[in-house]
Amino acid sequence: MLRPYFTRLLFQRLNEGKSINLIGLPLSGCSECLYDVKMLAVKKGIVTVYLDMKDFKYNYQGLLKSTHEQLTVGSIEAKNALPESTQNLAIVVSDYTNLERNTFILLDHFADILDNPEQRLPKSFFDDLNSLRNRTDIAICCVTDKPHLHCKYYFEDGKGKINDTLSWLDLDPLLLPNLLDEEAAAAFDNHLENHPLWPQEKVYRTAYIRVIQGNLHPVGILRAISVDWDQHPAPIDIEHRLKRITHNFEALYLRRPKKPTGLYQRFKKEITDWVKIIKDTRG
């Protein structure tokens, strides 16, 4: 576990029937935390549905199908395909859950369907989530990089018009904390001790851990360290290596301009680029 203390806290709250909006920056460890909660739930015999919203923001039927498959694993119903006519998440979940056994619905990268006019999940999806979270045996956890209540949800009405409104989900906010000192050390060891460069670089363990502790994106930094070790195996001054790792991480993940979404935004971006080119040409 990346954050064992916090993960157990999140698990406990979900097991008490509380639904959570887990808030954390990209590459800070939210996805890892959600996976660890899932593993704890499986060990405790809790029914768990894990959905990565990156995979389903344009495919609601696929989301329903995946939910059905996860809820019917190992049962007779697993042989039966979900009817194409099924259009409600609440119905799918209600058909295969009961009050005698807790169920977790874990929604990773939930931010991908917020502030996104191009996503294609219906309004009923949010209504179903609110309906399900009111059940005593079901808890929901949605991962976002800012409070979901600050985000818009776009949906198509019966006339084909795209409407938007602020998120109306009823979730308790919970911020992902920074790594504790011992968690950063354990993360470094677990992530890199099997790397071929470990014998050479472990003497600088304290310096690496300090970099991980001081970064808001520890998962990203761990990946950047691994990539640097792959690409530059020759011994090098540790301060130089750490500066290169930090620079490359920031250039790759933190300085990338956001890709415009939607036809209007892309058109506006192209016009802006052309205006800049003309101004630069004229001096």
* Residue 161: per-residue pLDDT: 87
* Residue 160: per-residue pLDDT: 81
C-alpha distance from residue 272 to each of 64, 118, 277 (Å): 40, 22, 9
Burial classification of residue 75, based on how many CB atoms lie within 10 Å of its CB (0-12 exposed, 13-18 middle, 19 or more buried): exposed
* Residue 255: per-residue pLDDT: 61
Of the candidates 89, 26, 29, the residue with the CA atom closest to the CA atom of residue 54: 26
Looking at residue 239, its amino acid is: E
pTM for the whole structure = 0.84
Angle, alpha carbons 166-176-89 (nearest 5°): 45
pLDDT per position in the chain (283 positions), as tens? 999 999 999 999 999 999 999 999 999 999 999 999 999 999 999 999 999 999 999 999 999 999 999 999 866 665 577 877 788 999 999 988 888 889 999 999 999 999 999 998 999 999 999 999 999 999 999 999 999 999 999 998 888 889 999 999 999 999 999 999 999 999 999 999 999 999 999 999 999 999 999 889 999 999 999 999 999 999 999 999 999 999 999 888 776 555 555 544 544 555 555 444 444 445 4
* Residue 262: per-residue pLDDT: 52
Q: Which residues contact 68 (CB under 8 A, 6 or more apart)?
A: 82, 92, 96
Of the candidates 44, 27, 28, 36, the residue with the CA atom closest to the CA atom of residue 9: 36
The owner of tokens 């079901």 is: 138
Distance CA 141, CA 226 (A): 30
* Residue 85: per-residue pLDDT: 75
* Residue 263: per-residue pLDDT: 47
Distance CA 24, CA 31 (A): 10
* Residue 272: per-residue pLDDT: 54
* Residue 254: per-residue pLDDT: 72
165 forms beta bridges with 153
Q: Which residues contact 88 (CB under 8 A, 6 or more apart)?
A: 124, 128
Of the candidates 186, 219, 223, 221, the residue with the CA atom closest to the CA atom of residue 205: 186
